[in-house]
Amino acid sequence: MSVMNESRKSTGRVTPGAPGGIGSDAVAGYSEAPGSIGSDTIAAQLREVASLSTQFQKHVGHSLSVNDTDLSAMEHLMTNGPLTPTDLARHLGISTAAATVMVDRLTAVGHVHREPHAHDRRKVVVVPTPASVQAAFETLAPLFSGVAQLTAQLSESDHAVVTHFLSEVIGVFRGAIAAPDRTGT
């Protein structure tokens, strides 16, 4: 068993900074310089937010009895409105055949239904059910309201600083996603 698997076994997840975990060898070059990822409290908190975000997404999926891909589909439908299965496949980066199977699964558990397309009678659109939308919002509400309460407590100047910082972090994420893959995979 690898050291990373041992870290998962003992904690249930890979722990940043744990032997073999994310942050040990992977960011060793960054952790030695002052103000770098390894020594920076803000960076550690951002890693924690990212980890908690992933855990919360799994919690939402579990509460709605769907897998990650199905949850992503539901999110697209709730955000963008009804979509054709082909459009949904494109948004999710999956094949149209996989999208059909996914829509069948979501239909079977009552999260979506198919309706005729408004302008093209050969097509159907996938629509989230009102009960599913309600269940999703009930699961998300504590997070949304908690963040809204914290935001409301910020002074105007603190709000500006946080907004600017988060905008910059978002830019870093977008830049990293757009960067060429250096792993050769």
Question: pLDDT for 78-113, tens place per residue?
Answer: 999 999 999 999 999 999 999 999 999 999 999 999
What is the total residue count of the chain? Answer: 185
**Mean pLDDT (whole number) for 17-30:** 43
151-164, pLDDT tens digit by residue?
999 999 999 999 99
Max CA-CA distance within the chain?
62
- Contact between 69 and 94 under an 8 Å Cβ cutoff? The reply is yes
Question: How far apart are the two ends of the chain, measured CA to CA in Å?
Answer: 24
* pLDDT-derived band at 59, boundaries 50, 70, 90: very high
